[in-house]
């Protein structure tokens, strides 16, 4: 297992063994100035948190939209009329299409470090559902490890790039263009569900998604949940500028009662995940097993 994309803040920078185990004790930073905090919260209320998937961070500048030609992989482009029905905010998919409409991978081609660190808990051949999988970095890596992976996302452009990534790695992923709002969570019982940086959802939609994750897991199935902690809003290195979309460990423990918590952590680390997620980030890990 590697540790690509994650460099824990610790007295031993670059110490890979340390990174492999767990980021050390949380490092706390100065709280953001009240005026800036108020400004962000006001913005949140006016625009709605779902308006943001990536905050004004070090995402590189405007990338020219690609012409409507086949993808470099030769795979057909997913047509916009395939946008999943039932999304509460289809414009969100269009925004993500815009972000992903670039030649490189916004969050890189390597999986989130959390996924790499926690995948040892899966069994060979496990069926894994990757929720809001974006450009496929997590699903493709998981499929490459021998798991049977289904992935979905609301962004047609993201899906197109995910398919291209899978093709380039020789990985087999069952991809679907779908919003969380319309996904049939009960259709297939999964051995594991991975939900990585899905904080486009405010509290109401998040409750529905969490219920869906629970439904999708078979009894005894593994929940792999990873995202930002509320203080991330002050860091400006990714995620929506809306603290209410973020996770706390208490929130997650409450959301999944009866689950056997195998790993939980609230920590700061430097993330290097493509141009879209780069720098100091406040993160939450939550790995828990559904009651059998």
Ligand X SMILES: C[S@@+](CC[C@H](N)C(=O)[O-])C[C@H]1O[C@@H](n2cnc3c(N)ncnc32)[C@H](O)[C@@H]1O
Report the residue from 137, 161, 163, 290 that binds ligand X according to the rule CB under 6 A: 137
284 neighbors 249 (Cβ within 8 angstroms): yes
Report the C-alpha gap between 196 and 133 in whole angstroms.
Answer: 8
φ, ψ (nearest 5 deg) of residue 112 = -60, 140
Report the C-alpha gap between 233 and 37 in whole angstroms.
Answer: 8
Of the pair 28, 81, the CB lying nearest ligand X is at 81
Report the residue from 5, 23, 53, 221 that binds ligand X according to the rule CB under 6 A: 53
Half-sphere exposure of 170 (CA within 13 A, CB side): 2
Is the C-alpha dihedral spanning 169, 173, 177, 181 positive or negative?
A: negative
Q: Are strands 127-131 and 190-196 parallel, antiparallel or unpaired?
A: parallel
Site string for ligand X, 101-120 (x = CB under 6 A): ------x----x--------
261 binds ligand X (CB under 6 A): no
155 binds ligand X (CB under 6 A): yes
Report the residue from 200, 235, 247, 256 that binds ligand X according to the rule CB under 6 A: 200
Report the residue from 96, 114, 235, 267 that binds ligand X according to the rule CB under 6 A: 96
233 neighbors 280 (Cβ within 8 angstroms): no
240 binds ligand X (CB under 6 A): no
Of the pair 158, 221, the CB lying nearest ligand X is at 158
Of the pair 31, 58, the CB lying nearest ligand X is at 58
Q: Which residues make up the interface to ligand X (CB under 6 A)?
A: 53, 87, 92, 96, 107, 112, 132-134, 137-138, 153-155, 158, 179-181, 196-198, 200
């Amino acid at each position: 297992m590697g540790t690509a994309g994650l460099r824990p803040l610790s007295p031993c920078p670059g110490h890979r063994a340390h990174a492999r185990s767990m980021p050390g004790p949380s490092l706390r930073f100065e709280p953001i100035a009240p005026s800036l905090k108020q400004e962000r919260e006001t913005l949140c209320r006016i625009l709605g948190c779902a308006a943001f998937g990536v905050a004004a961070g070090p995402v590189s500048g405007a990338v020219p939209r690609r012409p409507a030609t086949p993808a470099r992989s030769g795979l057909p482009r997913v047509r916009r009329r395939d946008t999943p029905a039932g999304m509460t905010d289809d414009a969100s998919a269009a925004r993500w299409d815009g972000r992903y409409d670039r030649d490189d991978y916004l969050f890189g081609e390597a999986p989130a470090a959390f996924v790499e660190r926690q995948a040892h808990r899966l069994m060979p051949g496990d069926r894994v559902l990757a929720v809001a999988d974006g450009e496929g970095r997590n699903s493709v890596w998981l499929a490459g490890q021998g798991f049977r992976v289904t992935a979905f996302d609301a962004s047609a452009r993201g899906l197109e790039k995910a398919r291209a990534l899978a093709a380039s790695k020789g990985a087999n992923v069952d991809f679907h263009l779908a919003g969380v709002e319309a996904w049939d969570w009960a259709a297939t019982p999964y051995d594991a569900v991975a939900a990585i940086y899905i904080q486009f959802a405010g509290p109401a939609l998040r409750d529905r998604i969490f219920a869906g994750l629970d439904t999708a897991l078979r009894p005894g199935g593994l929940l792999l949940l990873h995202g930002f902690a509320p203080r991330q809003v002050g860091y400006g290195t990714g995620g929506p500028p809306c603290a209410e979309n973020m996770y706390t460990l208490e929130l997650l423990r409450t959301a999944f009662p009866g689950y056997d918590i195998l790993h939980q952590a609230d920590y700061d680390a430097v993330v290097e995940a493509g141009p879209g997620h780069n720098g100091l980030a406040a993160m939450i890990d939550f790995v828990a097993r559904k009651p059998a």
